[in-house]
Each structure stands twice: as C-alpha cells, then as structure tokens.
Amino acid sequence: MTGMTDEPPVVVVAVEIAEPELADRLTALLADVPGLRLAAPGEPADAALVVRGEPGPGPDVVLTPRERDVLALIAEGASNKAIARRLAISVHTVKFHIASLLDKLDAEGRAEAVAQGARLGAIRL
C-alpha cells in the first residue's frame, strides 16, 4: 500500500470579502460543509470567493413594503406565480415589483437582488 486513504479530497477555499459582516456569515455557513476547508490568511487555495468593495446600491435605497414582501418571497425561492398567489396580486404586478427591485438594488437577477437586499438589511436570510 502506498499511503492511499479512504478520505474524500478536501477543497481549500479562500474567502476575500471586504464587508466584515458578510464575510463572517459566509465563513460560518461554509465551515460546516463536508469536503471543504477554509484557507488560512496567505495559504494557497483551490478556489476563492472574492467580493471587492464594489459600488452597489447605497444605504439610501428605499423599498416599499410590497417590494420587501416580494423580495422576501424571492429569497424563499418562490416563482412569480407563487408570489402572486401568496400576495393576492397578478403575475404582471409581481413582474413589475421585481423589475423595480432589480433597478433599485442595481441587480442583474433575482439572486443578486436577494443578496443586495440582505446586505442593506431589507430582508433577513
């Protein structure tokens, strides 16, 4: 035998995020993922999660209560049709709210809108 083990390979991940709160939350989530280990500062890594302090929506972004409702349901993974049913509005109105959210949060998609909304404290994940 030449030192082979039955242990699965471990992927070393470096986390480089300028926003301390987001970095702490992400680090806590990744700490329990089997087969993954967070790299120590300066340690070579197999992969890196890097979020620079890119300009995003400012803290002055104001979401309406309905936009917050829609954003929270998007975060839960609800479809437009499911959101419409839950909020007793039309699918067209849901699409309107989503377009407004994407614009206000400077997001290119639903996942990015959720991330931006969470960063701003508009929703809790």
- Domain positions in the chain are 11-51, 65-119
Start-end of H helices in the chain: 20-30, 65-75, 80-87, 91-104, 110-119
pLDDT computed for residue 59 by the predictor? 60
What CA–CA distance (Å, rounded) separates 104 from 62?
8
The answer to whether the CB of 113 falls within 8 A of the CB of 104 is no
Q: What is the pLDDT of residue 93?
A: 96
pLDDT at residue 63, rounded to an integer = 92
Burial class (CB in 10 A: 0-12, 13-18, 19+), 88: exposed
Give the model's pLDDT for residue 69: 95
Torsion of CA 38, 39, 41, 43, to 10 degrees: 180
Domain 65-119: give its CATH architecture: Orthogonal Bundle (1.10)
Q: What are the phi and psi torsion angles at 68 (to 5°)?
A: -65, -40
Per-residue pLDDT of the chain (125 residues; tens, 9 = 90+): 555 556 678 888 887 777 777 778 778 877 788 888 888 887 888 877 776 555 555 567 889 999 999 999 999 999 999 999 999 999 999 999 999 999 999 999 999 999 999 888 888 77
